[in-house]
Structure 1
Amino acid sequence: MINVIVSYTVNPDFVQENKVNIQKFLNDFKNLDQSTFEYKVFVKEDNVTFVHYSNYINEEVQHVVLNVPSFKEFQRVRDESGLNGSHKVEILQSI
């Protein structure tokens, strides 16, 4: 099992667009085998910091999920919005 947490902070004027883009890829993820991965997105109390939690049964599934076109587009637009070095990826180990 692969478990990942990604966090980043966006500019306040980009929050709504980011939420729309997130919803697009989450809708597309529904067309994939939901038994092989989990993907959840949260926004912190500051309303500008997003946290994505995901887990995948293996690297093949992770590759399929992360290469959905709407997800790739979400990443491109998010990164171009200016994250000011806040992007952080953490791999979690199960206990």
Structure 2
Amino acid sequence: MISVHISYTVKPEFVQKNKENIALFLSDFKNLPQCNFLYNVFIKEDRLTFVHIAMYESEQDQDKVMNVPSFLQFQNERDESGLVENPKIEFIDLVGSSLSLL
């Protein structure tokens, strides 16, 4: 299993657009055939910092997700928005969960 934690901070004027872009790619993710992954997005108390937690069963699943057009568009618009804090990507290891995962 591949687990990734990504965090970044946007400018206040980009928060709503970022949320819209996230909703779009999450909707598209739900339609990916034969792809085993879990993807969640959170916003911190500052209402500017987004946290993405992604878990993929395989590298092939990760590649499928990372190449969804709406996800690529989200990344481009996020990066071009003039981020306050650039994305920080960390690979993490799952210790346990109350959910049945992958």
Q: CA deviation at 1:84?
A: 3.6
Which consecutive segments of 4 or more residues in structure 1 shift more than 3 A?
Answer: none
What TM-score do you get using the length of structure 1 for normalisation? 0.93
Cα distance change on mapping 1:58 and 1:86 into 2, 3 Å = same
Structure 1 residue 85: deviation in Å?
4.1
Please state if 1:80 is matched with 2:80. yes
Instruction: For 1:78, give the aligned amino acid.
Output: R
1:9-39 Cα offsets, whole Å, 9 max, x none, are 0000000000000000000001014761000
SS at match of 2:27: helix
AA of the residue aligned to 2:72: K
Moved more, 85-94 or 19-28: 85-94
Please report the TM-score for the alignment, with normalisation by the length of structure 2: 0.87
Match in the other structure for 2:54: 54
Distance 1:48 1:37 in 2: 26
Unaligned runs of 5+ in 2: 96-102
Q: Distance in 2 between matches of 1:38 and 1:2?
A: 10
Match of 2:66 in 1: 66
CA deviation after TM superposition for structure 1 residue 72, in Å:
0.2
- Cα–Cα, structure 1 residues 10 and 70, in superposed 2: closer, same or farther, change >3 Å? same
CA-based RMSD: 1.4
